[in-house]
Amino acid sequence: MIQTEFRESSYIYVTSSHSLQREELSSRMNSPDQQPNVPSDHAEDQIDVPPNVTRKSIESTGSERRSIRETWTRAVDFLVACIGFSVGLGNVWRFPYLCYKNGGGAFLIPYIFSVLFGGIPLFYLEVAVGQYMSKGGLQAWNLVPLFQGIGLASAIIVFYLDCYYNVILTWIFYYFFASFTSELPWQNCNNEWNTKNCSVNFTHSLRYNRTEKRHLLDPVTEYWENKVLGLSSGLHEMGKLKWDLALCLAFVWLLVFLCICKGIKSSGKVMYVTATSPYVLLFALLIKNTTLDGAKEGIAYYVTPNFTLIRNTQVWVDAGTQIFFSSSIALGTLTALGSYNKFNHNSYRDSLIFTCVNSGTSILSGFIVFSILGFVAKQQGKDIKEVAESGPGLAFIAYPNAVVQLPYAPFWSACFFLTLILLGLDSQFVGVEGVITTFVDQYPNLVRKGHRKVIFIAASCVTMYLIGLSMVFEGGMYVFQLFDYYSGSRTIVLVGLLELVAISYVYGIRRFYENVMMMVGHSWLRYTLPYMLICWSVISPIFCLVLFILSTREYTDLTYERSNKRIYVYPQWGVMIGWTMAVSTVIWIPIVGIFKFVKNGATWEVFKLLLVPYHLHPHQMRPEDASELNLKKLEEVRKGKFKSLAAAMLHESTKKDESPAPDVWRTSAWTIGYTVNSKREVETALE
């Protein structure tokens, strides 16, 4: 049995009997004729480490094991980071509209179902994998090497997300800065960007007939399309670069860089502000909005159940995809966040708390949004169906339209956009950190030493900024829609499904369940883990498979609705760009698996070895893992391209015609590809 003690975020472990004494190990290390028969490419600097050796578990294998992995300063930092990343703009501008569109209060039935059997299990699975492996991105999937491409696919998805998410923040900052004035610039039609079709409150005017009203625009819409976006006629006409937006985008990326360049300890402190402050502003907006004339009617539209709609499969698709988006599942970032936890941190408890906060924020946002929409509808004499919008339309048209009708309009406008800024910034901090963690863990010697990590972060931010510039041209909105529509959506559902397959049916759900029990310890929550076992093995895979099939069946080509209900249909070459973007994420899952298989010999034994974990530490192993591999398999590993000390340890145990001691057997069997520390590092650990 393995006992684990934590000191200064490093693992100190002591393994039980069937191994050599400390003095015997020291004499063996100093005696040339007693050295194990190490494969040639490891013979100079590596020796076997019997399981009774007390040492620090340091981060990477071989020469990479020089730096101790950074961890959260406080246990609550992880929960705050998860809330900051996942609770974002989608909770404010997507969930309320979906709830209204899909039956009001009745939508909570498929939503809660999706939370229980999709959201919580997948959220905790990703966190647990990261925490168990103490790695993010590709390295976390050393748990199932054949599926290591999942880490790369997730990193590419979140890379695309980071590129266009900061463009949203750019628009929000633009409106926020524009709010510092005595009169909001979208309040009248007396500006250079307004056209002759601009009219204030034309719905109540008797000057225009019904035909003329169809061509009129309010100043809010013209400010958004003409001033902010400078919207062109289509993707084929990119137009000029909007320098004001380009500078604003650079400012946002500078903020992101400054907050993450010092690692999770500095970004964690910032997120205490960015993750908690929005709730103060949300409650202030709730109190203000519910006192407005028409707010009750708006809230009634939001919560009144229409149970007939839940028979529609699209309602269930919307509920399922909303869970993936709002919980940030299949983006790899949750795995990265979990990797900074201590091994015995109770992240299962945090997952349950997060789910409650995430869902509660979505429901709260619905009351805020529909109270203001009810006010707008009453002021303009429209039905709420005509003013209810989702996404950018809500943030940059519906809400600014409502604000201009309030007393102290600039103040309430600044409050609203500041709330969106705080909700969006921490999501971006963690999203970029997830991409950085993937490459830092994959290439620690190249990236982590000295100031290289800061330089790498800066280079990454500059790269994503340059890609984001394509979305701040006059035709940039059409590029933004391509990123938004194709880079995530169905691909993240597919990645989530493959995660479940890899853990439940390849690695082994019972084995993973026991790994989780090792981390959770004796908490009362361990008695609820059978629920997770059932979800991971049966319910959640079916949920993801059905959701992927239904969302694919409901696919329609991308369009963009401009003002006055004008629909722009994307050309076929634009759709092809979108599909290329989508395929460029998931295609790496089979490519990485095939590459690892071919590179290591393309034999049946290699294939079987790619289904068992490597780069594990003794504290991550179970006693019963001793019987996983037999002598023949280990000898074949020793002769093959999986060069490791497993074969050397086997030779050391058998050259005296002895059967391998159970602990040595276990360690050798579960260190396939695990390069043991150098002699100097072992001697240091023994001191």
What are the structural domains of the chain?
2-61+615-686 (no CATH), 94-592 (1.20.1740)
Tell me the sheet residues that pair with 6: 11
Question: Residue 57: in which H helix or E strand, if any?
Answer: strand 55-57
For 120, the token pair is: 């919580």
C-alpha span between 66 and 611 (Å, rounded): 28
- 190 known ligand binder: no
- 326 known ligand binder: yes
Question: Residue 129: in which H helix or E strand, if any?
Answer: helix 120-133
- 640 known ligand binder: no
Question: Residue 568: in which H helix or E strand, if any?
Answer: strand 567-569
Question: Residue 163: in which H helix or E strand, if any?
Answer: helix 149-178
C-alpha span between 459 and 183 (Å, rounded): 40
DSSP 235: T
Closest CA to 156 of 439, 445, 430, 428: 439
User: Are residues 284 and 82 in contact, defined by beta-carbon separation less than 8 angstroms?
Assistant: no
C-alpha span between 424 and 29 (Å, rounded): 55
Question: In the prediction, which pLDDT does 521 show?
Answer: 72
Question: In the prediction, which pLDDT does 154 show?
Answer: 92
Which residues 6+ apart lie within 8 Å of 452 measured at CB?
446
Within the chain, which residues score under 70 in pLDDT? 1-68, 201-215, 265-266, 268, 389-391, 449-450, 522-525, 564-565, 615-687
C-alpha span between 669 and 671 (Å, rounded): 6
Q: What is the pLDDT of residues 410-461, one digit of tens each?
A: 999 999 999 999 989 988 888 898 888 888 888 887 777 668 888 999 999 9
Which residues 6+ apart lie within 8 Å of 72 measured at CB?
78, 81, 264, 268, 340, 341, 342
Cα-to-chain-centroid distance, residue 9: 24
- 87 known ligand binder: yes
User: Are residues 346 and 76 in contact, defined by beta-carbon separation less than 8 angstroms?
Assistant: no
Question: In the prediction, which pLDDT does 439 show?
Answer: 86
Question: In the prediction, which pLDDT does 594 show?
Answer: 94
What is the residue-wise DSSP string for 7-20? ETTEEEEEE-SSS-
* Neighbour-count burial for 633-649, b at 16+ CB within 10 Å, e otherwise: bbebbbebebbbbbbbb
Question: In the prediction, which pLDDT does 616 show?
Answer: 66
- 358 known ligand binder: yes
- 423 known ligand binder: yes
Q: In what order do the strands lie in the sheet with 2-7?
A: 2-7, 10-15, 55-57
Question: Residue 359: in which H helix or E strand, if any?
Answer: helix 347-380
Please, what is the angle between helix 75-86 and helix 347-380, to 10°? 30
C-alpha span between 59 and 71 (Å, rounded): 12
Question: In the prediction, which pLDDT does 23 show?
Answer: 34
User: Are residues 673 and 615 in contact, defined by beta-carbon separation less than 8 angstroms?
Assistant: yes
User: Are residues 321 and 121 in contact, defined by beta-carbon separation less than 8 angstroms?
Assistant: no
Question: In the prediction, which pLDDT does 606 show?
Answer: 84
Cα-to-chain-centroid distance, residue 420: 19
User: Are residues 525 and 348 in contact, defined by beta-carbon separation less than 8 angstroms?
Assistant: yes
